Amino acid sequence: MIAAQAGAQTGELFDGIAAVVNGEVISIGEVRRTALLAREESLGIGELCAAQSGLAMEPALGNQPATPSPIPGASDRELSPAELQRARECLIDTRLVFREVRRFPRVGADDERIDAMMDALTAQFETPAAFAAEMRRLGMGLEEIRSDLRRQLLVGEYVDGRFRATVEITEEQARAAWAQEFVPNMETEGVPVPAFEEVANDYVIPILRQREVNRRVQSWILDLRERATIRRMYP
Amino acid sequence: MSSVHAGRLLLAATVLATASFAAGTAAAQNLSLVERTGGGHTIAAVEVVSRWERLIPSARTAITVQPGDDYDIARMRTTLQNLYALGTVANVRVEASAAAGGLLLRFVLEPQVHLWDVHFTGERPWSKGRLRAALSVREGDALDAEALGNQETRLQQALADDGYLLAAVSGKIVEGDTPARGILELHITPGAQARLADVSITTDGGIAGSELAIALALPAGSPYRPIVFEEALDRVRARLLQSNFFFHETRVVEQSLDLSDNSMWLEVEVAVGPRVDLDFSGQPFSEEILRQRLAVFEFGTVDDWALKDSRHELVRWLQERGHWRPLVSYSRDRDEQGRNTSVRFRVLAGRTAKLVRIEFTGTDRVAASTLAATIRSQPAGFLAPRRFISDWWLEDQRAVTTSYRRRGFSEASVVNARARYDEQAGGVVATMSVQEGPISRVRSVDVTLLGSDAPSSIDSSLWATALQLYPGGPFDPGAVRRDADLLRALLASVGYPRAIVTSDAERDDEGVAITHTVVPGVLQRVGKVLIAGNDATRDNVIERELAFASGAPFSFADLLETQSRLYATGLFSQVDVAPAVSDDLEVTQPLVVRVQEAPPMFITYGAGFDTEEKVRGTFTIGHNNIAGRNQELSFSTRASVREQRFRVLFREPYFLGRRTEGTATAFYTNEQEASFKVQRYGVSFQLLVQHSDRVASLPRLVFRDTSTFDVEINPRLIRPEDQSTRVGALTYSLIVDTRPNPINPTSGFYGTTDVELATRMLGSNTNFVTVLGRWFGYRRLTDRLTLALGARAGIKIPHSGSDSIPLPERFFAGGSTTLRGFQLDGAGPVDDSGNPLGGRVLLISNIELRAQLWGELGGVAFADFGNVFAQAGTITWREVRETVGIGIRYSTPVGPIRFDFARLMDRRVGEDRYQVFFSIGHTF
């Protein structure tokens, strides 16, 4: 390793500290990658953040329209400061959530489940070489992916136990939402409206439950932010 | 896989899922760089730069990315985390440029600024000390824009609280003599202090406004301070409570600042409410006691809860004063709004009595003395005039039940507890009847390891002897939880800090089967060890104090042990040992040892007085971090009328690289002994070998030249060659110390056993062997009484042609720490004029009964026996001298102030009958 004095020829900003959350570093590389993925996946940062932190993962969510990418076709452009800021804030939330989750004892995500998830993931690529190439392109290692999956599982279990388990949607609430929100939306879009009883258990109630879970999680995250020490350095 | 998990996978692994959509886009900035350099992601070289060079060495150890590695965001993040965790780096930029074979990465480190000093500029309304006290930041704290803003706000608020309502504070951080040292410069524009234009206070009757204005005590024209105003309102409330207006309401109805002259107008309205009529009859309580102890006055309320609490407190107060069965009742009248406006307490104090006896019945399987030791109530005894306190008696019943439960009597209960006055015994006899019930025993204890991470390295020997519950032993339900905690602690000590332990107790006819199920989690090991904050101190000085090594199982106990060891070096004012980031999913934890160095130069001084040395002064100056090695060089002196000592000392805490303290000393002393003056100068070298916390040995090589002057002893009794001498000797001392509190010991043992060989081979001009033992034991007899016993025995034997012991090398005894019936060194053989001659044999024993009398004040009764004998053959019972006496002790943090009055029981012609001593510290 070479030690050099300041003032030597400087290069392009490559990585560094983007933020520090309760002493835990978020790197510029992580921020850039998150912002890029959000753009490429056409996900709103909020959704990507939820996914990365393991918070909102019910299949029911998929029934809601994804937030369109703020910059269509942006994958060819430089990342904007606003995109980077949103990505940074998303990672801050992720860190806060996981820090809170790991305060509580639990059995832990077992390796078999993670192995299965890894298998499913690699199966999305035509060859192992293609999988490895993408990992390399994104600057990721197998251990990092496994570690992320483990975190996401733990957060999911925590959210299930703390929030989802206590959310109850009554039939009256479901009927009211169905009549006041779902039916008008479908009519506006010209979609045939099924009977409430046909979709209540598989569609309406899961969505309403997820909304309530999301509301509580958001409130929880706001509280975590208020109690945290956060330093922001980049962008 | 369930649909939920499938959904999680889809979104959770967003990173790679995205890759399949984004193939070929190459949009990441990292990639654009890679494409331009044409070198791929391979790191060709790594540079570390900083405008503060001192950061670079420790930063190098924190960087985990190496030339030849592929760039990896996770690994880079670990490096950045390590760098930040050092505490000396505020920010890191990683710059890249093209180089042969890949990327040249340059880590640009921004030093973390720590507070070094605070400067106040502008107009200072307060002293610097007061301004400084208003800030929350302390020397060594990290300084940044946020901290600066916080301090500005705090100071501005503090000024406003003092009446500087228009004060403005602006600050900046100025670099000190290094980039890490920040000077906080705060510019103050205080403006004028607000003054009170007028304070009016009005009431709705019951008490005159003028009377409350007196309590308010805020004259017009005085400075206006919000805190002072609040205090004034509290005085008004106190005044209202004093007049029993418990239902008053105080309201500030007008509070306006006139900006033209910075004056404050205040208007206070008081609704006094009904006056409460409080009456106490039957016992003349002082007003002071009532107001100090009763809730009605403390909380200013006569609500029912406060009346009950006050009744209880009166009973307690009377019981503490020996009224063993006082009766207190109260009655109250309410007004139409339901308020208690008239309260009458009636008190029947009853007779006074001591608690003379506590009896237990029904205790077949647990000894009454065992139960008595667990309860708070105790019978009266010497210096312990104990009373019967009903609160304690209730606590005692619970304590007895708990004591039984712990012994396996899960159905035990106290079926009757009473106290009666026993005329014959002359006091209160308390009786507790116990129903023991059957004993439950532990049938089995199983510890089951679960989880794929269950390590083979954890075997049952880890907890085999540690658990409280064992097969065949009594079953205590509380011990199940304690054993679970113990298992967690044991696992944490071998690298499983997040182990989960769940416990179950199943009862059947044969006993209780206990199962602890353990999920140890992932074995965590110590990763890289990073050291930061040491400026002068060498890394190896810190490394040798580490209780852990890279690769060893991670244990919080080792972290604390390391912290403790580093503090013990005396080099650091602050030590933090912690993981770089507390993430229990990582199997290796990089640890950061962050220190803040204390000033290496030290000066200590003191003064004292005792009856033997009279006025005494001490002074030491030294440096404890020579060349950054924790070596100490110091000069010390101690001077009194009787002696003067000078010493130069060099100490190496790790002699020859081992945990053995080596000390080289050069010294000079000049002492006035009872019958001669003596000068000594010499050098010594000693090693302190610590065998355990309680046992140490001290081999020592010493060379001293001793000369005597003004010898008053009859010349016929002391040969000229015995008056001065040169001693070269090898000494070995064994030290055992089990006292929990060496300053004021009440238990344990302290003993030293020394063997000294003085021989011509080591430069001595006389040959002799000395064996000397000093042993002291302490035992607490009651919570106020301690018995202290001491014994000292020594002998000096000439050898190899020598036939005498030189005068300054002889044993002497007498004085405040040996035989208190004599003045200093006054015991033992004397010449015709009564001048002590010293001797070859020393035998002393001391007995002291130490009592705590009142607060810090204590008393002792003592007896000292023994003497100095010319030779072993001259020891006779007649020559064993006897002293008895009493003394007073007053405890201080540096030891008790001591006053002893001693009487020599077998006084002989020419000897004083009484001696008085005053000094600091116990006799032994």
List, as ranges, residues 270-329 from B with C-beta within 8 Å of A.
none
Per-residue pLDDT, averaged over B850-878, amounts to 92
pLDDT in tens, A91-127: 999 889 888 887 776 655 567 788 888 888 888 888 8
Q: What values do phi and psi take at B711, rounded to 5?
A: -75, 120
Angle at B183 between CA B178 and CA B185, to 5 degrees: 150
Q: Are residues B895 and B831 in the same domain?
A: yes
> Which three-class secondary structure state does DSSP give residue B569?
coil
Instruction: Classify residue B823: in a domain, yes or no.
Output: yes
Least confident stretch, A76-90, B212-226, B791-805: A76-90
Q: Is there a contact between B244 and B278 (Cβ–Cβ < 8 Å)?
A: yes
Locate A9 and state its tokens: 């020829």
Average the pLDDT over B613-640 and give the result.
95
**Domain count for chain B:** 9
Nearest to A178 by CA among A156, A197, A154: A197
Tell me: the pLDDT tens digits for B236-249?
A: 999 998 888 999 99
pLDDT band at residue A75 under the 50/70/90 scheme: very low
Q: In this model, does residue B310 exceed pLDDT 70?
A: yes
Segment A218-225 mean pLDDT: 91
B882 plus B897 within the same structural domain: yes
User: CB A16 to CB B11 under 8 A?
Assistant: no
Please report the pLDDT score of residue B457 as a whole number.
Answer: 62
Res B100: pLDDT = 84
Residue B409, phi-psi category: left (phi > 0), alpha (psi -120 to 50), beta (remainder): beta
Point out the residue among A12, A56, A149 whose CB comes nearest to the CB of B13: A149
Residues facing B507 on adjacent strands? B512
Question: How many whole angstroms separate alpha carbon B748 and alpha carbon B777?
Answer: 6
Positive or negative torsion for Cα B137, B139, B140, B143: positive
Q: Where are the alpha helices (DSSP H) in B48-168?
A: 55-62, 73-85, 128-133, 145-161
User: What CA–CA distance (Å, rounded) separates B73 from B41?
Assistant: 11
CA R_g for chain A = 21
- Residue A94 C-alpha, separation from nearest chain B C-alpha, in angstroms: 12
Output the CA–CA distances (angstroms, integers) from residue A64 to A58, A169, A206, B502, in the order listed. 11, 18, 12, 41
Q: Is B617 within the bounds of a domain? A: no
Domain ranges of chain A: 17-103+163-232, 109-162
Q: Are residues B851 and B756 in the same domain?
A: yes
Type of residue at B404: Y
Judged by average pLDDT, the poorest of A167-171, B157-161, B579-583, B661-665 is B579-583
One domain, residues B293 and B167: no
| Residue B899 forms part of a structural domain | yes
Residue B495 has pLDDT above 90, yes or no: no
Full residue range of the structural domain in which residue B14 is found: 1-26
Residue keyed to tokens 């409206």: A193
CB-CB under 8 Å, B76 with A41:
no
B614 close to A (CB below 8 A): no
SS3 assignment for chain A? CEECCCCCCCCEEEEEEEEEECCEEEEHHHHHHHHHHHHHCCCCHHHHHHHHHCCCCCHHHHHCCCCCCCCCCHHHCCCCHHHHHHHHHHHHHHHHHHHHHCCCCCCCCCHHHHHHHHHHHHCCCCCHHHHHHHHHHCCCCHHHHHHHHHHHHHHHHHHHHHCHHHCCCCHHHHHHHHHHHHHHHHHHHCCCCCCHHHHHHHHHHHHHHHHHHHHHHHHHHHHHHHHCCEEECCC
Backbone angles phi, psi at B857, to 5 degrees: -85, 135
How far is Cα B891 from Cα B857, in angstroms, rounded to an integer? 7
Whether the predicted pLDDT of A9 surpasses 50 = no
pLDDT on residue B50: 93
CA distance A22 to chain B (A): 9
pLDDT digits 0-9 by tens, B762-773: 999 999 999 999
- Cα radius of gyration (chain B): 38
Is residue B33 in a domain? no
How high is the mean pLDDT of chain B?
Answer: 88
Q: Where are the alpha helices (DSSP H) in B355-389?
A: 368-374
Last residue of one domain, picked from the residues B484, B519, B554: B519
Average pLDDT over residues B50-77: 87
Compute the distance between CA of residue A45 and CA of residue A26 in angstroms, rounded to an integer: 16
pLDDT of residue B25 exceeding 70, the answer is: no
ipTM of the complex: 0.80
* Residues A133-161, mean pLDDT to the nearest whole number: 78
Which of B138 and B338 is assigned the larger pLDDT? B138
Q: What tokens appear for B752 in the block?
A: 């030293």
Which of B70 and B650 is assigned the larger pLDDT? B650
CA dist., res. B572 & res. B632, Å (int)? 14
| Among A residues 206-225, those touching chain B with beta carbons less than 8 Å apart | none
Residue B524, pLDDT score: 85
Closest approach of A215 to chain B, Cα-based (Å) = 19
**Alpha-carbon gap, residue A228 to A98, rounded angstroms:** 13
Distance between CA B821 and CA B815 in Å, rounded? 7
Strands B102-111 and B43-50: parallel
List the structure tokens of B101.
């074979």
pLDDT confidence of residue B583? 59
Smallest CA–CA distance, residue A100 to chain B, in Å, is 11
Q: What is the pLDDT of residues B682-728, one digit of tens each?
A: 999 999 999 998 999 999 999 999 999 999 888 888 888 888 899 99
- So what's the pLDDT on residue B455? 59
Rounded Cα–Cα distance for residues B39 and B71 (Å): 11
Residues B714 and B678 in one domain: yes
Query: Does residue B848 share a domain with residue B757?
Result: yes
pLDDT computed for residue B393 by the predictor: 93
Strands (E), B655-811: 661-672, 677-690, 695-709, 725-737, 748-758, 768-780, 785-798
Q: What percent of chain B has pLDDT over 70?
A: 94
Residue B53 pLDDT: 87
Q: Please, which residues 153-182 of chain A have a Cβ atom closer than 8 Å to chain B?
A: 153, 156
- Determine whether the interchain pair A120/B1 forms a contact, defined as Cβ–Cβ distance below 8 Å: yes
Inter-chain touch A16–B93, beta carbons under 8 Å: yes
In this structure, what token pair is assigned to residue B817? 């720490």
Best of A9, A10, A12, A95 to disrupt the B interface by mutation (most B CBs within 10 Å)? A12
Domain end point (choices B165, B189, B213) = B189
Residues of B in contact with A59 (CB under 8 A): 3-4, 6-7
Alpha-carbon span B343 to B303, nearest angstrom:
10
For residues B663 and B679, what is the distance between their CA atoms, to the nearest angstrom? 22
Q: Is there a single domain that holds both residue B712 and residue B817? A: yes
Mean pLDDT of chain A: 77
- Chain centroid to CA A42: 13
- Stretch (H or E) spanning B445: strand B442-449
Residue-wise pLDDT for B400-450, tens only, equals 999 999 899 988 999 999 999 998 988 999 999 999 999 999 999 998 887
Measured distance CA(A33)–CA(A83) in Å, rounded:
11
Which one-letter DSSP state was computed for residue B222? Answer: S
Highest mean pLDDT among B32-36, B211-215, B463-467: B211-215
Chain B residues lying within 8 Å of A24, measured CB to CB: 81, 581, 583
- Residue B290 domain-assigned (yes or no): yes
Query: What local confidence, expressed as pLDDT, does residue A51 receive?
Result: 60
Size of interface A-B (CB pairs under 8 A): 246
Answer whether A14 sits within 8 Å of B103, measured CB to CB.
yes
Cβ proximity of B255 and B264 under 8 Å: yes
Q: What is the pLDDT of residues B113-154, one digit of tens each?
A: 989 899 999 999 999 999 999 999 988 888 988 899 999 999
- Tell me the helices (H) and strands (E) count for chain B, helix number first: 17, 38
Which residues of chain A are within 8 Å of residue B454 when distances are taken between CB atoms?
Answer: none
Instruction: State whether B296 and B375 are in the same domain.
Output: no
CB of A32 less than 8 A from some CB of B: yes
Reported confidence tier of residue B382, pLDDT bands at 50, 70, 90: low
Q: Calculate the dihedral angle through the C-alpha atoms of B406, B412, B416, B422, rounding to the nearest 10 degrees.
A: -50
Domain for residue B654, yes or no? Answer: no
Q: Are B442 and B469 in contact (CB under 8 A)?
A: yes
Instruction: Verify that B799 and B738 share a domain, yes or no.
Output: yes
Domain containing residue B49: CATH number: 3.10.20.310
Residues B343 and B464 in one domain: no
Classify the C-alpha dihedral A117-A121-A124-A125 as positive or negative.
Answer: negative
Nearest to B185 by CA among B139, B122, B110, B127: B122
Of residues A181 and B683, more confidence is placed in B683
Cis peptide preceding A105, ω within 30 of 0: no
**Would you tell me how many other CB atoms lie within 10 Å of the CB of residue A227?**
10
A102 shares contact with chain B (CB less than 8 Å): yes
Residue B143 lies in a domain: yes
Q: Considering the domain boundaries, does residue B607 fall inside one?
A: no
Angle made by CA atoms B25, B28, B29, in degrees to the nearest 5? 135
3-state DSSP helix/strand/coil % of chain B, to nearest 5: 25, 40, 35
